[in-house]
Structure 1
């Protein structure tokens, strides 16, 4: 088919006004939505129409209207329509640190299978999964996150972290990565900043924040990159300003994380790509 005469895609993505540590979207896709990718956040959502299908933990999952999806940080997954009618959904991406504020150093909750009909989680996500045009007040957001954290812990049966895990050191490592995301950070630096050896620190960081320190650093760079792209900065300059070796390095990391290259992401979110 001549590309000029190809039918225009009906796919769309609407983004909510971002809040600290929380990002929300509502979207519609007719066919393939995302390639394989993974986040360092929880992805928590609800299918509004159609059948939402995705590969997750070695199996194909199917979410129907009213189902709640809970994808754990750093778990690879993709996304596509389960039928020819396409699917519409809402999703919030929540930094694990926000749930840790409520859970106080417990291991992160894990919901087996990624899709659930548990009424506790359906009710606990109602506030966060409102229409993206309805911003939440700060206290409202905080209450909603706390309620959801405890619902996740109850449904998953989360138990306190083992006594050898060092939550305070993991917090210091996270703070250090936030302060130095624009440059290369070495393991020796993190050891010095936290007083914890690299192997214990890496293990504990993943327990409390759901991903590795390097992956967490990469995600801070990508978050800054998306903000710069939306402000109209070209991709070469974005890569140079966010600590990536070059544009191709940034594009590879972006695609692995969001399931699509930067140019498509910009078009889908109303940018200028």
Structure 2
């Protein structure tokens, strides 16, 4: 990890390189299991979409604009973006020179391993000026060519979870008891991408918790519904195959989607861009089918 001092020259980085023209995305190759990117967009970046992860990041240069919870937000260098799981947002440049940013997508389950079953912290406006939170996020966002070691990330995750909770106003009050163990059993089952049709009745049997109580607890603990969690895991599996040159039609079926169109529809809904555009911007191998997705 880089040794940048977040309190000195916050938001000041080296100028963008000349290796690319137009919009681009770099994906870090880390030992950690969560996607970490650096990207540049000159204009419109993403259509409205939502993740089932925290999207935590910092704008490096330019003005980053996005619609979130009924208002237009602006991210500038020196602040922190925290988009809560399952909240719809888009993204575009707020100025003529575009914007460059870094982002890490962290599953709520990882935050829960630190919080131990407390409700997820919520930064209501999606933007924070909290210095502790800035430092915690900055530590997890070195340049994409700097590899983060597993233990290093786990230390950073511990600090991030507590910084998020503090920035959100402290531990949230729980409205009714949450059954974390049952929800975690259901999450682990979905995470393994089971075959066949999955219903709340299936998850009731897996978790030992009544289906509606489980559905409520799952949302409170992991920030999204069981179905959307399953779809996101399928999308992540498809992205891995696409990055390795698997044709989009085959990647879709292998991940559990009905066909390529089914994959493309969910991909754009989750990430705000098509599979083909994502592959092109990331400069990854793309077959003809993926390019047309």
Per the TM superposition, whether the score is higher than 0.5 is yes
Aligned to 2:81: 69
CA contact (8 A) 2:190 2:230 kept: yes
Backbone CA RMSD of aligned residues: 1.4
Kindly tell me: are residues 182 and 78 of structure 1, through their superposed partners in 2, closer, same or farther at Cα, counting changes over 3 Å? Answer: farther
Q: Which residue of 1 aligns with 2:231?
A: 218
The answer to whether 1:109 aligns with 2:121 is: yes
Match of 1:199 in 2: 212
> Does residue 140 of structure 1 match 2:152?
yes
Compared with structure 1, are the counterparts of its residues 199 and 20 closer, same or farther at alpha carbon in structure 2 (3 Å cutoff)?
farther
Provide, for residues 194-215 of structure 1, a one-character-per-residue CA deviation record: whole Å limited to 9, x for no partner: 1111111111001110000000
Q: Secondary structure at the match of 1:22?
A: coil
Task: Report SS of the residue matched to 2:81.
Answer: strand
* Correspondence for 1:17: 29
**In the aligned structure 1, how far is the partner of 2:255 from the partner of 2:129?**
40
**For residues 203-244 of structure 1, what are the alpha-carbon distances to aligned partners after superposition, in whole Å with 9 as ceiling and x for unaligned?**
100111000000000011000000000110101111111111
Does 1:57 pair with 2:72? Answer: no
Q: Are 1:45 and 2:62 an aligned pair?
A: no
* Per-residue deviation, 1:137: 1.4
Partner of 1:95: 107
* Residue 150 to residue 226, structure 1, CA distance change in 2 (3 Å): same
Number of the residue aligned with 2:7:
none
Alpha-carbon distance, 1:79 to partner? 0.3
Is the CA contact 1:225–1:242 (under 8 Å) kept in the aligned structure 2? yes
Q: Is the 8 A contact 1:53 1:63 kept in 2?
A: yes
Distance 1:37 1:182 in 2: 26
Cα drift, residue 124 of structure 1:
1.2
Relative to 1, partners in 2 of residues 1:248 and 1:127: Cα closer, same or farther, differing over 3 Å? Answer: same
1:185 aligns with 2:195: no
Which one is further off, 185-194 or 23-32?
185-194
TM-score scaled by structure 1? 0.94
Indicate if the aligned counterparts of 1:21 and 1:98 stay in contact, CA closer than 8 A: no
Q: Tell me, which stretches of 5 or more residues in structure 2 are unaligned?
A: 1-19, 287-293
The 1-side partners of 2:174 and 2:189 are apart by: 23
Which one of 277, 285, 291 corresponds to residue 272 of structure 1?
285
Unaligned stretches of 5+ residues in structure 1? 1-7
Moved more, 113-122 or 172-181: 172-181
TM-score, normalised with respect to structure 2: 0.88
Contact 2:80 2:129 (8 Å CA) reproduced: yes
**Cα shift readout 1:149-193 (whole Å, capped 9, x = no counterpart):** 001011102325345211111001011112344432122111111
CA contact (8 A) 1:32 1:80 kept: yes
CA distance in 2, matches of 1:116, 1:219: 26
Moved more, 174-183 or 230-239: 174-183
